[in-house]
Amino acid sequence: MLDPVLSEAIEALRSLPGVACAHIQPDDRGGPGLLRLDLDRDVDEIAVATEVGRLLRDRFGIGIDAGRVQLVEDAEPRVRQGEARVPALGRMHLLSAGRHVTATVELTWLDRVAEGEARRLATQSGMLEAVAAATMQALEDLADDAVLGRVLDVTANQGDAGLRVRVRFMIEVGAEEVEVSAEAPVRQDVRQAVIRAAIRAVAPHLPR
């Protein structure tokens, strides 16, 4: 049974904008447990983490070890018509713990499923790069390592047609190393746009 103060704190966290659910995950070592927050879509998880720490400290006097706070975001968009010809996003999972964010991207293609994971610093640019790197890793798996790559940069630019993201990779195809890039419009979530741009950049080089 949770301490009354912790119970009240959990209820307060659930009322924070961007927090879909908050609960304590039991600690196998007998500690106070792991605070787990499930986030709404299209929120800045780093800003939420800051607000969580402020609320717990100022209102409840609870100090939080940043390495023990997990912010989780899952996305499972439907495959759009026409996307079956190229890898499509099955699931995106973001975990922010302490100073780092870990992105997990699951792609589906030709009845196969592949998952990539990457970890970067918990900044806005670091989060986007983690998503791009995780996508590249999943693409490598789908290609059975016939295509290998690394992220050069990820940028987001506001244009006349709205916000767009651009991803650049350096990829190896056989003995050849080439730079590839692509853009994608931001429909709702900039992170999903990063994944679409990454797929567009690499897909022409995947084995058929």
- pLDDT tens digits for 130-145? 999 999 999 999 999 9
Do residue 158 and residue 184 come from a single domain? yes
DSSP string, 42-83: T--HHHHHHHHHHHHHHHH-----GGGEEEEEEE-PPPPTTG
Do residue 141 and residue 170 come from a single domain? yes
Do residue 61 and residue 87 come from a single domain? no
Its pTM stands at 0.69
Run of H or E including 162? strand 162-173
pLDDT tens for 1-51 read 456 777 788 888 888 888 888 777 666 656 566 677 777 766 676 677 778
Residue 61's region, left for phi above 0, alpha for psi from -120 to 50, else beta, is left
> What type of residue is 170?
M
Do residue 90 and residue 37 come from a single domain? no
Closest C-alpha among 178, 184, 170, 191 to residue 120:
191
**Domain, as residue range, for 136:** 76-205
- Residues 34 and 2 sit within 8 Å (Cβ to Cβ): no
Q: What is the CATH number of the domain that holds 170?
A: 3.30.160.270
Do residue 201 and residue 127 come from a single domain? yes
pLDDT tens for 136-175 read 999 999 999 999 999 999 999 887 778 899 999 999 998 8
Do residue 43 and residue 135 come from a single domain? no
- Percent above pLDDT 70 for the chain: 80
- Residues 20 and 39 sit within 8 Å (Cβ to Cβ): yes
Rg (CA), the chain: 19
Do residue 37 and residue 21 come from a single domain? yes
Q: What is the number of structural domains in the chain?
A: 2
Q: What is the CATH number of the domain that holds 8?
A: 3.30.70.1350
